[in-house]
Every structure is written in C-alpha cells, then in structure tokens.
Structure 1
Amino acid sequence: MLTLEKFTIGVGDRFAHQAAAQLRAFQQAARDGVEVVPVWNKSNREHTFVGSEPQSVFDAAQAAVKSLGWEKGWHVDADHIRLETVGRFLPCSDFFTIDVADSIAQPVAPEAVGAFIDRHPELLGRVQIEGIDRPFEITRDEVARIAGKFLLAVQDAGKIYRHIAEAKGEGNIIAEVSMDETDSPQTPPELLVILAALADEKVRVQTIAPKFTGRFNKGVDYVGDLVQFEKEFHDDLAVIRHAIARYGLPANLKLSVHSGSDKFSLYPIIRRTLPQFGAGLHLKTAGTTWLEEIIGLAEAGGEGLAFAREMYAQAIGHVDELCAPYASVIDIDRAKLPSAETVNGWTSEQFVRALRHVPSDPQFNSSLRQLLHVGFKLAAKAGRRYLDLLEANAEVVGRNVTGNIYARHLRPLFIG
C-alpha cells in the first residue's frame, strides 16, 4: 500500500513555474534534520480558471525532483475532487482529496442510520477516549443526529474512493477525506462517528480534513479562539488514535489542516500538540506561491513592478467577480483597499511591504493581500507575458518562494 509520510505539506503552484523553488525549502528542512514531504496540489476549479491540465502539475514536480536530486517522497494531489471531476486526475495523481462537504446534512435513508447505530453499539453511552479527560456522553438520538448529518457524505466518499481504487489499484493511492468547506465545524464526537462510518465503507483513509472552529481565510492568519482550536486539535488527535485501534483504519491516519495558508498563530499549537500523540500532520498551504511570484516581480522593479501594479488595478476593478467563488474564505474590508492610482505610485518596497505577510509590519494590508490572492486568474489571462516575466526574474521570485515556505511554514511547524 502506498503510504503517506508522517509530515507532509501541500503546496500550490498555479502556473507550474516554482516547483524547484518550493522543493528547495524542503531540502533546507532536511538539512535541519526534519523530513517533510511535498504534496503538489491544484484543484479542478483552479485548472479551469488558469486553463491548465493536471498533467502539468506532475510534470513540473517530476522535473524539480530530478533536477535537484530529491530522493525522498513526493506526491501530486488531485485536490478537492468529486466523482464528476476526478477522471482527468487519474493518470497523474497518487494523492486524492475526496471532497464531500456538499453532501453534509443532505438526506439519508432512515434505515441506513438505524443500521449504522446497530453496527456500532460502542458509540452509545459513556465513550472514554484515551487522552481526553472527560468521556463523551452520546445518546442514541445523538448518534442518529450525527449519522443523519454525515452518513451520505461518507457514502459518497466511499463511492469516489472505490472508483479511484478500481482505476489505479487500491495499493497505488493515498486517500484524504475533506469536510472542511462547510458551514459548521465538526466536533470530536462527530469525527468519531465519521471515522467509524468510513471504516464501514472500507475507505483506507490516510488523512482527514475536518472543519475547525474559527476563520481560515485565504492567505492570512487564523481568526478565532486559539484556546478552542487547541482543544479541538488535541481531542481530534485523540479520536483518530482511538479510531485507528478500534476500527482498523490505516495506522498512519492523520489530521489534515486545510489552512488557506499562513495560519501562523496556529503553528505553535500544532507543534506542541503533535508529539503528545506521536502524530503526523498534513498541512495544505494553498496558493500563496502565486503571491510570492507577485512579490518577487514587485521587488525586481521595472517591468515586474509595473505588472504587479497592473494586476492590482485590474483586481480593484473586478472585486465582486474575483471574490464570488471564494466568498466563504475571505474577509476583505473594501475601505482598506487603496486606489489603483495610489498603488501605481508605490515603490517596490511599498508594494512588497503591503503584500508580504508580515503581520507586525504596519504597512501590511491583509485586504489587499486577500484580493490579490483570489486574483490569480488575471495573471492567467495575461498568458505568455506573465510567464516571460517569471522566467526573466526567476532568481528573485524563486528566493521569495523558497523563503516563504521554509521560514514561515516549515521552521515554525517542525524546527522552531
């Protein structure tokens, strides 16, 4: 069976030009004595926006691995796929993020709920989970409520998983089940029921992405109660360890945090909690590589800075259109967005400081950053012009891409 390594980070490369720069960050971590494996990801939606094919992600990753002599693991993620979109990813992916959030709370046959409860009497009453101080008190009605909410989603995960396994062979795939893109966070008791149901469906899930309390907006830090997150994260790890032993799920099953990237305030919590359970982690960092490309072009000055200014001018003129697909994962204060005329007068340093994610910098503008984060399709429309600028400024862009992943993600999470 293809086994996902203990520590993995999902990295996006929307224009397939930064795989080597990304991989250099993992090489630096390896020199520090920590093995973290890259998982290149790109969703069907992003391929559609950019006009790319899944094979391009694999090709760029493979070329980087060969050119840098990387001998550790690496994977390519068919990100947030469903049955109707997975086909184009099958030839070139080994990691499959099965997204069933849309099926949560959809009606399921009452007899399926009753049969699930009958199969799992261990979920009723006082359920003691090692590592959690107080036992869960779960009534039959509560299990019925949870099963009624999540059972169809788990059944859909089973259908998608079996489709992928039939096409590629079960031993050749890594399955993640994603339930994070929904309205309400899943509680630890709900996660326990979900894992029992996944075991019933014989889904060999190696990582699961629940929704946590708080806001996981694209490209900016976590907004929420850090104490509550720490409790949820801790208790979810305990539930996963319990479910592995109780239901025969893969021994390497681990939590996946679909972070939207840059959840810096969560990294100390994650780092100190994982060792309590000997647990692994999959962190999906989303699309901030695109932002590092724009930062690098702005830093380079000249035509690069002119292009960065132009991207902002176009974005500020199409805010509603750009933000609509990401409305649930961005919070932009339009009053804090500078005018296109203002940005057109910025120096390289001003542009970089406004966009680079350094929360302590008084010039940092999270609203501008989020707008440009969802504005990557504007660069796609620029086509060859944008790619030529990336290639002409490869050194400065690559330095920003590598430094971002290593210094802002890998070091605080795994090295300190």
Structure 2
Amino acid sequence: MNKQDILQYFDKYHSDRYKAYSSSIMSEKDNYFFMAKGDKEKNLIIFAAPDLTNKFEGENLEEKIADENKLAIKKCYLNHLNLSLLREIFPHLNPSFCGIRASFGTGDRLGIATPAHLQAFLGKDIFPILAQQSVREMARTERNWQKVLDDAIWGCFEAGYEGPFGADADHVKNIKELKEAVDCGFTMFTVDPSDFIRNDIEKLGKQELDQLYNQIPNCKEIKKLYLGKSYKVNGKELIFDDQSLKEIIITYSEALNHVLRCYEFLTGYKKEKFDLEISVDETPTVTSPLAHLFIVLELHRRGVDFQNLALHFLGDWQKGIEYIGNVEEFAREFSLHAALSKSIGGYKLSLHTGSDKFSVYPIFSRETDSFCHIKTAGTSWLEEVKVIAMKNPALYREIHRFALENFEKDRASYNLTTDLSRIPNLDEVSDNELASLFKQNDSRQLIHITYGSILKDKDDRGKYIYKDRIYKVLFDYEEEHYRELSNHIRRHLVLLVSI
C-alpha cells in the first residue's frame, strides 16, 4: 500500500466519523501517520505494525492484512508522549537553529494557528519561528513551554510541513526560565534584561551620576576602552565623549552583566546550537545609535555570541496597531542602526511589537538587506477573535463587554493610548458590522490586551466562560479561521519587500 491507498481506505471506512488531512500523511517504511479531524477533536491516525502502534497512546480502530502484513489502525491522542515518539521517527519535526537569515516569529496564544501561519510563509524565503511565547503570555493563557512547543509541532504535522522552523522562549528574564525552556527543547532564547536597565538617567544630576558611575565595577577599565573613540557610520561620526559614555555605562552595565550570566548558563547547559536574542526594547529609554554601538561592542568583548538584537527604536510602538510617529524620522535614525549592524556584523536587528507595523516593514527590510527578525504575537489572536465576531456574533458581544470591564486592570503592563470612548457603542453595531471593529485601533487594543482575562475567566463551578466556546467556534469554522489568519500574516510578509 502507498499513501494514496491508505487515505482512500481510511476515507472509505471511517469518513463517517473522521476527515483526514491528506497533506499530513507521512510514511516510514511500511508505517503511515496522518492527522484526522472528528466532531470534537483531532487525532493522530497510525497504520502500522502492532508492535509500533502499541507504543502510542490511543485506541485501536481495526486490524487488517495488507500485502501479507498485519496492520493495526489506531486513533491516537495529540499528547506529548505521542508527539515525542513521532519526532523520533521524523526528525524534521524538531525545531532548529536559524542563524543570520531573514526570520519572522508568529506568536500563537491559542496554540491552533500554526497551519495558518505556514500557509502565509508559502513561497517566501523566511525562516519561521513557529513556537514563540513569552513568560507573561503563558501566565495569561495558562500554558507552559512544553505546551507551546508541542502545539506548534502538531500544527507542522497537520500541515505536512517538512522545512526548518524555530522555537523562541520569548522575553525570558532569569536562568530558571531559561532552564525550563531548554529542557522542553526550545532553540531560540530571547533574554530580556529590562529589569536591570536604568531609566532615570535624565532625572539625575552630575553628582548623582558620578556617584553611580564610580560604584560600577571596572568602570574605569571600560572607560579607557571607549572614551574619545569615534566611529563613522553612514557619513555620521559617533563619538564616546565623557558624559555620553558615563550615561550609557550606568544605563546598561548591569543589564549586560545579566545577559552574560544567562549566556554562560546556556552555553554550559544546552548541548545543541541555539539562537540568542538580546532584547532591550521593553524600557522607556530609546536606544540611541551610540548606545547600540556600546551594547554590541561590550557583548562581543565579553564573548557573547548572539544572533538578534532588539532595540527600542524611535517612535511609539503599541500593541496590535500601526506605527505611531514620523516615519521619515524613523527611517533616518534606523538607517544608522542598520549601518552599524552591517559594519560590525555577526547579528541581525529584531523588531518587537512587530504586529501590524506595515509602514515600517519596507524600511526595516531595505536597510537591513532583509537580514532581520520580526516578532508578532497578538495580531494572530485578534484575527481569531475577528472570526468569532464573523461566525458567532452573540459570543463576540459577550467577549467585547467583558473586555470593557477588564480593560483598566489589564492595561497596566502596556504602553497604550487607547481611548475607550472612541469605540462604537456595541448596541449600535449590527452583527454584519462587528468584524469592522478590528479596523479601529481602540477596538483592536481593547481585545488585544484583555486576552488573559478573557481566556481565564470561569464561572462559580470552575468552568471557562469564554475559552471553550472560542475554541469550538474556531474548530467548527477552521477553514475561515485559517484563511483570515494566513491572509493577515501574509500581508506582513509581503511588505518585507526584498525578501
């Protein structure tokens, strides 16, 4: 029997209960594996010798003789044990190292978006980071590193994807979190040292600055390395004078020490090659080209091998909406950052809060010659809730009203200019017009930042009020879900014009 025979047989005898994803079928010798969708869940289906199927958890559907060999047909659960066995058989289901090439991260808060994300990448020479979640997101979605990675890999299997992909443990702040992510098989680690970056430099007087500076170990040795040094970039001269150097050292020295500690842990603990991203974007301090230069030179001097650097670029980078700021000013300053990166070499620039920043993608791509990383997350969640609005307006109205009640509480950890008064009165919006709310910035941010409250809310009996119904709608309308989401992510990718 071949793959076609297997699918035809399954369709003939089991199509009353299951629909096979024909693109998912894979074979190893005379053993066949594919995914199928039932009324309420998806399953791994195995046509194989009983000694192999017995290793997987599930229930036997039937046994048959094919080509004089005994075959068991087993319906298996999409759990971690079964996925681990599948990854041993098919190594392409394991995440891998990306390195210095164009890459794009697709955060997936519900864990069901990967097949749609992969559709968006078709024909694009961009390395997909398909498993990407931050510690904050996992706390709000009640997921963990293993669940995030497993969901993405099951999505790869469903889609029949056999190419490379990465797994990013995003915005990790300590070694405990790094260890957990390494143990689960992540291949990329975004170290966030923002807790160690000083944001009060502009408020301090000269005496206070000098006092802080003199408390920094090796400050004089560091000063000797950079004071008076000048670097020409794009026709502009960057000079470390006494004042600017002191301020930069005070701002970033402890953060760089933290990055070094994390890097030393990773190199000692993780045996396989990994991508390292340094993120200094989640701080009020805009990263100047001079600070960028210092950060990179110091990391290299200390032996830190990193692939991506996420800076706080000029402008206002808010969640789920377009870039706010003067695009021409951004382009001028970013050209310096990009030129610095090219001049020093060995790493690429990364854009965080990259969702829906369509006006800056062409600039980012052009100035970096496409050697960049873009990170998105909440925009996929927004597209999924938009599908809820399209297919179950009553449920969306419940979610919207609940989000309004929780917005002030949930906005505390975000930089936002959302004005709830600009959101149309829901009672005056028809069912057919609900999806248009996702074209309005305030409505988008309302749903974007309240995702944790929405997904975690339970009734008095401990039953989820919204979460299970959200999953059911997206399960029932999977074709629409995948179409809307892949089209939206594709819109991001096509604007990376030179990729």
TM-score, normalised by the number of residues in structure 1: 0.86
Greater RCO, CA 8 A, separation 6+: 1
* Shift in Å, 1:398: 1.1
Distance in 2 between residues matched to 1:379 and 1:390, nearest whole Å: 14
3-state secondary structure, aligned to 1:76: strand
* Shift in Å, 1:10: 1.0
1:187 aligns with 2:259: no
Distance in 2 between residues matched to 1:312 and 1:113, nearest whole Å: 52
Conservation of the 8 A alpha-carbon contact between 2:289 and 2:336: yes
Superposition pairs of residues 12-411 of structure 1, within 5 angstroms: 12-27=107-122, 29-30=123-124, 34-83=125-174, 84-92=176-184, 93-105=186-198, 109-118=215-224, 120-121=225-226, 124-129=228-233, 132-169=234-271, 171-244=272-345, 251=346, 253-275=347-369, 280-300=371-391, 304-326=392-414, 328=415, 330-343=416-429, 346-348=430-432, 350-355=433-438, 364-377=439-452, 378-381=454-457, 382-406=466-490, 408-411=491-494
Distance in 2 between residues matched to 1:190 and 1:307, nearest whole Å: 48
AA in 1 matched with 2:180: R
AA in 2 matched with 1:321: K
AA in 2 matched with 1:42: Q
Conservation of the 8 A alpha-carbon contact between 2:129 and 2:168: no
Conservation of the 8 A alpha-carbon contact between 2:407 and 2:449: no
Distance in 1 between residues matched to 2:264 and 2:301, nearest whole Å: 13
* Shift in Å, 1:57: 1.6
Conservation of the 8 A alpha-carbon contact between 2:314 and 2:330: yes
Superposition misfits of 4+ residues, deviation over 4 angstroms: none
**1:257/1:385 CA distance change after superposition, 3 Å:** same
* Shift in Å, 1:313: 0.8
**1:3/1:319 CA distance change after superposition, 3 Å:** closer
Q: State the Cα deviation string for residues 131-185 of structure 1 (Å, max 9, x = none).
A: x11211322342232112111111111111222222213x522100000011121
3-state secondary structure, aligned to 2:126: coil
3-state secondary structure, aligned to 1:321: helix
* Shift in Å, 1:90: 2.0
* Shift in Å, 1:115: 1.7
Q: Percent identity?
A: 27
- Which is greater in Rg? 2
Distance in 2 between residues matched to 1:281 and 1:100, nearest whole Å: 21
**1:318/1:111 CA distance change after superposition, 3 Å:** closer
Conservation of the 8 A alpha-carbon contact between 1:217 and 1:260: no
**Pairwise CA RMSD:** 2.0
Conservation of the 8 A alpha-carbon contact between 1:311 and 1:379: no
Q: State the Cα deviation string for residues 256-304 of structure 1 (Å, max 9, x = none).
A: 01134100111222233233xxx5010011211111111112222xxx2
Conservation of the 8 A alpha-carbon contact between 1:316 and 1:340: no
Moved more, 157-166 or 61-70: 61-70
3-state secondary structure, aligned to 1:110: coil
Conservation of the 8 A alpha-carbon contact between 1:128 and 1:134: yes
Which structure carries more helix by proportion? 1
**1:102/1:113 CA distance change after superposition, 3 Å:** same
Q: Could you list the runs of 5+ residues in structure 1 that have no partner in the other structure?
A: 245-250, 356-363
> Paired residues, what number?
380
Q: Could you list the runs of 5+ residues in structure 2 that have no partner in the other structure?
A: 1-95, 200-211, 458-465
Partner of 1:11: 106
